[in-house]
Structure 1
Amino acid sequence: EKEKKKRYRNDPTKIQNWQYDEKNDVFTDYQGIEFHFKNYSIRHDQYGQERKFKVYQAVDYFEDPVRQALAQTPSGRQRQVSINNNWLYFKNYARVQLQSDEGKKIYGQRKIEVEPVFADVKAHLRFTRFSVRGLDKVNIEVGLVLMAMNMIKWAREKAH
């Protein structure tokens, strides 16, 4: 949803809005600084999942001190950007699926099936925040709230 907004599409700081030369594998930012492929990088997130990146580094502009300053970080190192092509592929795949007719229909059902449950919990039970900390305690509290909602539904059915 955020990527559809004009402000996001026109934001020159977003890498998606930079020019990309596929033949030479070079990104050019909004200030004209070129980023050439440097190396591959593998990182592990907090869950131990492996993520692969392509690292691009800004070109040295020794002859032009103004452009050289734009190509460096405030600490004096060359600027770098990391691109996760696997993440971009799946993000684009999800975008295509959501924009299809079937995807729009399924996403539209979310407003009918899921959202009212949370609205009922907030409105009828006045449950707007947890009173405990810790995942186990929160799971128990959610279970109690959902059990209360089911009991309310059961009582309504019995009354009719």
Structure 2
Amino acid sequence: MKIATTTLALFLTALAAAPATHAAAPAIAPPGTATLEALLACKAGSDFSAADAIDALQAAGLAKKPGGTFEPEDKPVALFGGTVNSADVTVAEGEKGLFVYLNGVDAKRLARDWSVTEVNEHANTEEPSYVKRIDKHHTLHVIAGDDYEGYSAAVKCQISH
């Protein structure tokens, strides 16, 4: 009996130490979204090129579509508690922006989580949209969407030079 108990204990120990190949996927954003999240945080002094933004979008699982927008390739992309509907990058002389449209995200909650408290009086949205001037060059926008627009919230990091 002692051998059977020892064998069972060794088997259970080995089973616990083995990698769980059948484990459920975590309910957090995939590692590929870390760079995208960092760019969208719009920290003072941060910068990105069009190539940097495109690389971040593609690493997150978004593919460039005809017309220049980026959309999830084959599965939903989790970000900020919701999923990405689409994204875009604009780089023009004097200004650049990274814009991500989200579903399943409340713009008020997202703005509160990021301490973006100033209501954007210029936003043409039914619900309040928010704006935060980070520094002389960086502005973070949290925009309320609606069903008609096809997204629930959007985030934009705008950098001007």
TM-score of the superposed pair, with normalisation by structure 1: 0.24
Q: In terms of Rg, which structure is larger? A: 1
- Higher RCO (CA 8 Å, separation ≥ 6 residues): 2
